[in-house]
Chains A and B, each alone.
Chain A
Amino acid sequence: MLGSRSRKGLVLWMGLVVLVPAIGARPPAQTKVAAAEWTALKSLGSKSAPITIEVFSDFQCPACKRNYEETLRPVIENYVATGKVYLVHHDFPLPVHTHSREAARWVNAAAQVGQFEKVEAALYAKQETWAANGKIEPVVAAVLTPAEMKKVRQLVEKGQLDAIIDRDVALGQSRRVTSTPSLFVIKGGDTVPLPPGGVTYALLKQYLDYLLRQ
């Protein structure tokens, strides 16, 4: 038999066991939802596509520009548009590139107003210009409406976008990403890292077609 003091202690203890994890679990759950929403805003295609490609990219890196223009654009046209691939962008600004984090901020703000794809394409197209002079805003403004630009500018000025970028960086680090672009192909729960520096559209097409035949 338990004494009244022991019973009180037991009730208190059980209360703590139930409450502490519940309190602790609440913020991560909210963060997770927010993270998923942000990821969706920076993704192209249907979430129900059989294959997901995740790309860790730095907007100032020349190899990322080549990867976007020569590999990902054809993937978007031939696989994303046809519902076969869901393309997910993750920011991975490298410290050696002085303007890449700022570029990532503008892209994340544009994603918030539903213009991720337009701004991503514009930043890669004009990479040499803004990488040299650091003027990213005019490049973004050229492809957005004044109303969109106003909202995007406000989001950038608020200074809350670094947390989202850092979350992408942390995800990349957890996958041992050290260089950009780094691509991962996910199908049926299997995540396969693609060999960095060797991905061409012709080879990626071979690989995707193989996976789609499975």
Chain B
Amino acid sequence: MGDSTPSAPQRASGVARALVLLGRLALGALFLYAAYTKLRHPWALFAMAVNSYQVLPEWGVTLVARTLPWIELALGLLLVVGLGVRYVTLAATAVLLGFFILMLRAHFQGLGIDCGCFGFGEKLGTRTLVRDGLLVALSFALTVLAFRSEETV
């Protein structure tokens, strides 16, 4: 009879796969929720939130406001379904890191604006910065795990 007990590397790989699965489902749900909170309102409202960061010209504000919620929707769906996990988690990390840098910049400039992350009326402050920082960390860890695991979940 053969030994059916998994070896230590096999066990580690199994844990990594489980973490990737849980992480991508959580992150996917967050991206879907973020997209929903923006798409349920007319794009002009989200455009005002984008404009309040004072980094883009008018055409850039319009472009981001019209496309970003759909990108979030696509990333959320791909994360939940589990298609191209390595590249999708990489893209999600890049997007979240971009948001986080802009939020930090606005915070330290004392702009006193809304986050615009999950709907409207949420002030940008320490709480939102900590939350989004944790999301960047989660997404980054997920990306590393996805690239390390032999068979991505």
Q: Mark A residues whose CB is within 8 Å of B.
A: 176, 178-179, 192-200, 202-204, 206-207, 210-211
Q: Point out which of B45, B52, B112, B116 has the most chain A C-beta atoms below 10 A from its C-beta.
A: B45
Indicate if the CB atoms of B113 and A195 lie closer than 8 Å: yes
Task: State whether the Cβ of B47 lies closer than 8 Å to any Cβ in chain A.
Answer: yes
Contact with A along B108-119 (1 / 0, CB 8 A): 000111101000
Task: State whether the Cβ of B58 lies closer than 8 Å to any Cβ in chain A.
Answer: yes
Please name all residues of chain A whose beta carbon is closer than 8 Å to the beta carbon of B35 when the two chains form the complex: none
Known contacts A178-B123, A192-B120, A210-B42: A197-B52 contact under CB 8 Å: yes
Which listed residue (B42, B45, B58) contacts A195, Cβ 8 A?
Answer: B45
Please name all residues of chain B whose beta carbon is closer than 8 Å to the beta carbon of A179 when the two chains form the complex: 112
| Distance between A203 CB and nearest chain B CB, rounded to angstroms | 5
Q: Across the two chains, which residue of chain B brings its CB closest to A180? A: B112
- Give 20 CB contacts A-B under 8 Å: A176-B121, A176-B123, A179-B112, A193-B114, A194-B45, A195-B45, A195-B113, A195-B114, A197-B51, A197-B54, A197-B111, A197-B112, A197-B113, A199-B48, A202-B58, A203-B47, A203-B48, A203-B51, A203-B61, A206-B47
Known contacts A178-B123, A202-B58: A195-B48 contact under CB 8 Å: yes
Task: State whether the Cβ of B49 lies closer than 8 Å to any Cβ in chain A.
Answer: yes
Indicate if the CB atoms of B58 and A196 lie closer than 8 Å: no
